[in-house]
Structure 1
Amino acid sequence: IEINTPKIVATGTEGGTDLFPIAYFGKEAFMNQSPQLFKQLVAGGGIERVFEIGPIFRAEEHNTTRHLNEATSIDFEAAFIDHEMAMEVAEDIISIAYHSVSENCPQQLHTLSLDGLSIPETPFPRISYDSAIEIANGSSDLSEPLEWGDDLSTQAERIIGSTMATHYFITDWPSEIKPFYIQNHDESPEISKGFDLMHPSMELVSGGQREHRYDSLIDALQNQGLNPIDFEFYVDMFRYGMPPHSGWGMGADRLVMSMLQLDNVREVVLFPRDRNRLAP
């Protein structure tokens, strides 16, 4: 079922970082970074499989060919599935998108010199975070070695993507660099059940299995320096029981950019918004 979640919120999905504050009748409010918390509440509240296609807003100062401050996100959330099943849904969506464009847009593809659009084969390869670090550190092109717990730099992503040469998943990320709502492995709590789906040149999807146990969720919030009181509307539902659930968010603009082999995400957005552009 398609849902529409608020874009004006009282707190950020991952705390107070990268938020656009707005004036809201004397109250503190922000433009939403993601529908994450809301789609979890809906999926756990009886509508078991939901999706949303809508805008997200991030006050990041990145000025790159892959980042915008207002972007379109494709979000999916479902109850009673684990992170492996969520990955299967994500790769199916990518495959369907490529097939649909290939079959229905031959004239537009010809204009872009993309006759015979290359469709990635499923299932996509899966590598662990540890393997990704090993691949990156094994390249002489990496300017600074990565340590366990580091996020992947753009340079590292390109090295790994060059090695993989197709869409692929990175799994088993360190819990410390994944959001509080991602569940960790019980036997190895330092490793999360989060994943990223990568195009050889960039990240397209981030997701994972969600922490549905109330006490563990409170611990995760506090471990990341967040106050559970600020997320009261969210954590209250977990107090009374939430089913296991998983999901992801996909950058629609990046999906089109990578599919059409374009150099800049601004080429696929009608009126892009970045740190320098506010009009038209």
Structure 2
Amino acid sequence: MASSPDLSDRAVLVTGSSSGIGRTTAVAFGREQARVAITYRSNEKGAAETADRVREAGGDAFVVRYDMTDRDSIDAAVGAVIDRWGTVDVLVNNALPSGVGPTPWAELADGEWERTVHGVQDGVFHTVRAAIPAMREAGWGRVVTISSLSAEDGTAGMAAYAVAKAGLHGLTGVLADEFGEDGVLSNVVMPGMVLTEKNMERPEEVHEAVAERTPSGRISTPEDVANLVVFLGSEANGNINGAVIPVSGGM
């Protein structure tokens, strides 16, 4: 087993990488000299900024539009990576459909449940389906899916989101079982609250309350998540397959 990530020239696709955890993860792959495809649905400017940061970190990058609720967009994005770099070595499923957010159970609008659950689960399924043949042909690949602590512990107001993410745990177990022998390892990273740009806008008392409940005494940063994703997506991960790994400080 390799003792370092050894990602030089690996082709990495990070969905939803125009900001937040996706951006930090893309840059972390760039520091390992990977070639990183940056995707966006509507924030093209943010995606371009991420690509610049990847290049500054030492990697290569290009930007491609990706809408996980549109099968043609998924196939086109994965196809663009393969056309440019010949393969997809690492797939990081990080994107979410638009409009996903907290909604109390009694206030879920007609169609919101279906839109969230199917948007997340179908989008990841079809993205993996598009990318995994190239990994199997190469005899090496890594699939890392970003979930949420809500998938196991539940969070008030996040019924559809929690169920959508929990389904990805089951999908990952199937991928691990079916494609592990082909050299394709699939895992889930399960963050709790993370200090992304959006969460940094929440009141300080919210941060303090979460930190007080966290055994490690602090809230995770995007870098905490990205470092684990890079490890799981690299040569250093020799045989971790089908795991669900929390990044939550012990919560």
User: Which TM-score band applies after superposition, normalised by the shorter structure?
Assistant: under 0.3
- TM-score by structure 2 length? 0.25
- TM-score by structure 1 length? 0.24
Higher relative helix content: 2
Larger radius of gyration: 1
Higher relative strand content: 1
